[in-house]
């Protein structure tokens, strides 16, 4: 196999020498670019074959990648940019397991060839493979740059369906990068593009932003599971379904921290019922001595007025029982003497007043004496 690889290299070198001869100038000689391009193309094919041997049969991807890159340069000299970009992409694939950074540079180099040679419409697949590698290794900033370049290409060829998918991919990558604010700004800018607001991609992007605003992980998962997310590239669709809404995102609403209980209060201490918390406790009344005016009740306990005494008896006792005043040390006999009404006496038990005939009512006036006699 080593001999085959060396043979391909010698063949390529011979073609390159013939190509260089046809590019030389002299007093009587002009460069023949057409013949030189043919030799350069043959040299490029020889290097491509040698790189295939190194990669597939000898297991030397790094040397193969270098040979693919040299073949790309020869194809550019032969004025076949599509083949040159193809060789750059093969070189990038060979370098992926060795150096991701080198592979990314080679992929971007292939995209540059398409754009510089006005062949960008044929570079959509190369752009997508570049974005997939960047997203896989979480190079989100570079992935957004490549997607923006791809969007310009899609917009130029009036492919709105693919263009709207690219815009949705940018929003998803921005959310995955943790920059919710910039994702919202980009979405607002995308809404000014004709037809995007009415598209399904716009509805999906709006749903994801709403889920981030309300910190609703379940709603975001439902939005990411929609069919139009599955239509995106595999790495971007996988990224969308793996996003977890964090409370520490830039520009997001901070979570409401639970109030800590005071230090002097036990967290697990039993709390009184609600109806006891708001119960109004009346102030404790001081003890009132017998015969002293009670400022809380408005009348001394030993009042001789019958009507006032009845009012206190009705308000402060039930069925003749004394009210429960804890500081009242009066005896039951004293209480009865104060509260019970005197029993009505019969006429023969009434003591006549001095100077009043028996049976005369002392309430009668003097003018009624004649009627009684």
User: What are residue 26's phi and psi, to 5 degrees?
Assistant: -155, -175
Q: Which domains does the chain have, with CATH numbers?
A: 1-122 (1.25.40)
The tokens for 175 are 């959310």
Angle at 189 between CA 183 and CA 195, to 5 degrees: 115
244-283: b (≥16 Cβ within 10 Å) or e: ebeeebeebeeeeeeeeeeeeeeeeeeeeeeeeeeeeeee
Phi, psi of 179 (to 5 degrees): -105, 85
Six token digits for residue 152: 């310009």
pTM score over 0.85: no
Specify whether the CB–CB gap between 89 and 107 falls below 8 A.
yes
- As a whole number of angstroms, the distance between CA 70 and CA 149 comes to 26
| Helix and strand counts by DSSP (H, E) for the chain | 17, 0
* Predicted confidence pLDDT, tens digits, the chain (373 residues): 556 666 767 777 777 777 777 677 766 667 777 888 888 898 899 899 889 988 888 888 999 999 999 999 999 998 899 999 999 999 999 999 999 999 999 999 999 999 998 898 899 999 999 999 999 999 999 999 999 999 999 999 989 999 999 999 999 999 999 999 999 999 999 999 999 999 999 999 999 999 999 999 999 999 999 999 999 999 999 999 999 998 754 433 333 344 454 454 444 555 555 444 444 445 555 555 555 555 545 444 444 444 444 444 444 444 445 555 444 545 555 556 555 555 554 444 444 445 444 444 444 444 444 444 3
């Amino acid at each position: 196999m080593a001999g085959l690889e060396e043979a391909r290299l010698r063949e390529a070198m011979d073609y390159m020498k013939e190509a260089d001869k046809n590019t030389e100038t002299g007093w009587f000689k002009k460069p023949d670019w057409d013949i030189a391009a043919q030799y350069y193309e043959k040299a490029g094919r020889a290097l491509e074959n040698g790189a295939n041997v190194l990669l597939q049969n000898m297991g030397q991807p790094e040397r193969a990648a270098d040979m693919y890159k040299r073949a790309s340069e020869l194809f550019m000299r032969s004025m076949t940019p599509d083949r040159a970009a193809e060789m750059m992409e093969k070189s990038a694939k060979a370098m992926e397991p060795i150096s991701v950074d080198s592979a990314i540079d080679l992929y971007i180099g292939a995209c540059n060839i398409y754009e510089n040679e006005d062949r960008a419409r044929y570079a959509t697949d190369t752009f997508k493979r570049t974005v997939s590698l960047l997203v896989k290794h979480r190079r989100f900033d570079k992935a957004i740059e490549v997607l923006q370049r791809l969007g310009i290409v899609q917009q130029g060829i009036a492919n709105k369906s693919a263009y709207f998918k690219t815009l949705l991919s940018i929003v998803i990558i921005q959310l995955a990068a943790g920059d919710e604010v910039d994702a919202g700004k980009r979405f607002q800018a995308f809404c000014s593009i004709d037809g995007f607001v009415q598209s399904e991609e716009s509805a999906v992007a709006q749903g994801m932003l709403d889920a981030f605003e309300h910190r609703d992980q379940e709603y975001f998962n439902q939005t990411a599971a929609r069919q139009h997310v599955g239509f995106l590239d595999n790495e971007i669709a996988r990224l969308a379904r793996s996003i977890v809404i964090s409370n520490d995102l830039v520009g997001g609403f901070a979570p409401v921290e639970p109030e800590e209980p005071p230090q002097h209060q036990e967290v697990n201490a039993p709390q009184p019922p609600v109806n006891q918390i708001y119960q109004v406790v009346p102030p404790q009344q001081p003890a009132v001595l017998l015969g002293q005016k009670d400022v809380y009740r408005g009348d001394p306990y030993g009042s001789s007025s019958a009507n006032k005494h009845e009012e206190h008896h009705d308000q402060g006792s039930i069925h003749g029982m004394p009210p429960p005043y804890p500081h009242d040390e009066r005896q039951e006999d004293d209480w009865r003497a104060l509260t019970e009404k005197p029993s009505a006496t019969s006429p023969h038990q009434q003591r006549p007043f001095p100077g009043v005939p028996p049976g005369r009512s002392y309430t009668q006036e003097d003018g009624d004496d004649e009627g009684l006699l």
